[in-house]
Structure 1
Amino acid sequence: MRPAVFFDRDGVLNEDDGYVFEPNALRWVSGAREAVRAVNDAGYFAFVVTNQSGVARGFYEERDVLTLHDWMASDLASVGARIDAFDYCPHHPNGLIAKYSVACTCRKPQPGMIKRLLERFHANASCSFMVGDKQSDLDAARAAGVAGYLFDGSNLEAFIAPLLTDWSRCLGRERK
């Protein structure tokens, strides 16, 4: 079972410029694309788990989130990096769009998105970790049984490099 790195999106992979949903508005955090490639090269799954309350608030639609994630995947591929899966929560209990105006188990700090991906990919939770920029990210990680690290906003590649270990040691055996 491979471990995973869970990335929050806004504030970790891209600058948190408030409700980003258009590719031309996205600004990568310094070292973000290289960090994803390092995660790939280390043999970890790379996942994005992101609250997208802009959907519930009526600022944009789910298709806009999917379009942005497709663009991000394409841009990452251009530097030899990949996200294995994106998951997002469109809900907010105070949303303006009725079908999204709910309290759910996927909106961080709830662990739903992380748990779904762990199960779907059969990832090893005990060797996995989350990189987030808010306490709610760390709370979701803890509730899902994975470690959490608070990103300081500097270079993401430099931040994540010391966190990537030979995960076979975590599993107690040599990787084959």
Structure 2
Amino acid sequence: MPELIAPTVLLHSAWTEAHDEWGPGPHEDGFGLEPSDEVGSPAGFAAWVARLTRESDPAGTGRAGCTYRWIVEDGRVLGGIALRHGSDGSVPRFGHIGYGIRPSARRRGLATWALGRMLDEARALGPDRLLIVCAADNLASARTIERHGGVLEGVRDTGHGPARHYWIMLRPVPGDR
């Protein structure tokens, strides 16, 4: 049974295996990996996990913050999901939630499951709605978002190509039935 856990140095080899499976190219959504992060060595990996932990505590960063979770099953890292708190400048481009599932773990419903759990965490933070963005040609992700009530606002160019912009309501809007 999969679980969402906070990033941990204890899963360095399992995370590296998942990271290697993605191969070169765009980063894996949901992991908060920056081009400057050096995750190959134990020290670099520990520094990256420490940064993710700091960012998950908005009081500790002076910024809006971001909650990171890894999707783990039987000691294997299957993916990652991130919830951006607030509405900083990255939200219009990337949305409040970003996620990615390693190629060998796709088509199992893990993204749908993880998004549902992260929406529960978002409700606890209090926003009425969340923006979720996916590449315009990523129909699997679009279906995942729509399964959770995502309403397509439109398709826009984010600087990384066209992307679908969805809103998910977390609380009823006054006057709606």
Higher fraction of helix? 1
Q: Which has the higher contact order (CA 8 A, sep 6+)?
A: 1
Range class of TM-score, shorter chain: 0.3 to 0.5
Higher fraction of strand? 2
